[in-house]
Amino acid sequence: MKKIIALLLVIVLALSLVACGSKESASADNQPAAETSTNQTTETSTEGSTTKRIFMSAAYYTAPYGSPLMAAVEEKAKALGYEIQIVDGEANADKQLTQFKTAVADGFDALIYWPGDSASTPPVVEYLNSTGLPWVDINTLPDDSIIDQCTVIASNEVQIGRELGKLIVQYYEENSFEEMNIAYVEGDSGSSYTIHLTEGINEVLADYPNIKILNEPMYANFDPAQAMTITEDLITKFGDEIDLVVTQDGGMFQGAYNAIMSAGKLGEYGIICQGQDLIVKEKLLSGELYASVAQDPFQEGSLAVEVLDKLIKGEAVDAWTYTPTGPIFAADIDNYSWF
């Protein structure tokens, strides 16, 4: 008896899937997903409300930078009269591809893609373009081979690196160092952000042979706790040789700052970072942080929806809309949003 009921339940499940799927499969079997979804988009628009729906897959949903960025996307989308759904792509290109396919099948009208890394973007971009829906890439740059097929809203990451490099040079010149040694804490070894920032810094420092990065690449994965451990290790290893500590974001700055404070080296080492975190603002004001470099998640999120709105309306947009960047000193803090 039990086996029969179990079997029946399995059959119900199978039939639900197959029979219901086959309703549309008869017409959709030989169509690509995109065509099917386009039909459904029309269906949703005509049957349901006329509010257009935007779907966003965010690779770094839980990153500190992600929260204000997604809040800005939501706020702007609502202000422009769109419904918005944001899901966690978990920095997994295949998962993001699946999410987009699900969203397209569900009749979303426009898409926002925040990739986890550049290398895995080609098949996702190929799919997004095949849907015929308006979409934008945000924050992480697509692979060079397909960047011309995308509408990008992102910082010029190499430029952020250059800005960091310029701040390092400015600190070097202001303090009249003969030689200056840097302890450098990087983010995620695989991310384009980390790679490009380092590229920008190295580009500037190439003209200053007396400025030296002491350590081999050390990755804290944008994690304050890991940044603290790495900085502690660097202080133990290099001690007074260090003149300046540089971190690639505000979260890691917090970890590095705590390590420097624990070692009693506050004031002895200069500190420079990238970021607009509240801790960065606080330490800029107190003078313990020399300067930061802006990459504004609020502007980036807002810009993405503005550009997407234009695409939805069929207006022309730039292939790459840059998120503004530049140095932030204590005197400039009122000009920026903080998170």
Partner 1 sequence: MNKNRSTLRKSELQFFFLENAVIIVLTAFVVFMVFYRPSFRSWANLTTIINDCCMYGITALAMTAVIICGEIDLSVSSIYAWSTCLFVILCNSMNIFSAAVITLLVGAVWGLFNGMLVAFLRMPAFVATLGTMYTAKGLAYYITEEKPINTGNPMLATIGKINIANISLVPIVFLIVLAVLYCIMRYTKVGRNVYATGGNYEVARLSGINVKLSKIIVFVFTGICSALSGIMYCTRVYSGAATYGSDLTTWCVAAAVIGGTSMSGGYGGVHRTIIGILLMAILFNALTLLGVDGSMQRFIRGLVLVVVIMFDAISKAKKR
Residues found near partner 1 in the complex (CB under 8 A):
2, 5-6, 9-10, 12-13, 16-17, 20-25, 28-30, 32-33, 36-37, 40, 58, 61, 85-88, 90-95, 97-99, 101-107, 116-120, 122-124, 143, 145, 188-190, 195, 217, 219
| CA 95-97-100 angle, 5° bins | 110
Contact 112, 136 (CB under 8 A): yes
| Choice between 2 and 313, CB closer to partner 1 | 2
| Most distant pair of Cα atoms in the chain: their distance | 88
| Choice between 137 and 243, CB closer to partner 1 | 137
Q: How far is the CB of 146 from partner 1 (least distance, A)?
A: 10
| Choice between 6 and 285, CB closer to partner 1 | 6
| Choice between 195 and 204, CB closer to partner 1 | 195
Q: How far is the CB of 204 from partner 1 (least distance, A)?
A: 21
Q: Distance between CA 98 and CA 309 in Å, rounded?
A: 24
Token pair for residue 154? 């992102």
Residue 137: CB atoms within 10 A of its CB come to 26
Contact 36, 105 (CB under 8 A): yes
| Choice between 123 and 239, CB closer to partner 1 | 123
Q: How far is the CB of 76 from partner 1 (least distance, A)?
A: 17
| Choice between 142 and 270, CB closer to partner 1 | 142
Please state the separation of Cα 239 from the chain's center in Å. 34
Q: How far is the CB of 311 from partner 1 (least distance, A)?
A: 22
Q: How far is the CB of 256 from partner 1 (least distance, A)?
A: 20
Token pair for residue 161? 């690196």
φ, ψ (nearest 5 deg) of residue 138: -125, 145
Q: Distance between CA 311 and CA 156 in Å, rounded?
A: 22
φ, ψ (nearest 5 deg) of residue 222: 60, 25
Q: How far is the CB of 303 from partner 1 (least distance, A)?
A: 21
Taking CA atoms, 219 is separated from 90, 133, 182, 227, in Å, by: 19, 38, 15, 8
Q: How far is the CB of 19 from partner 1 (least distance, A)?
A: 9
Number of residues written out for the chain: 339
| Choice between 5 and 331, CB closer to partner 1 | 5
Residue 62: CB atoms within 10 A of its CB come to 9
Q: How far is the CB of 90 from partner 1 (least distance, A)?
A: 6
Q: Distance between CA 37 and CA 39 in Å, rounded?
A: 5
| Choice between 203 and 268, CB closer to partner 1 | 203
Contact 190, 117 (CB under 8 A): yes
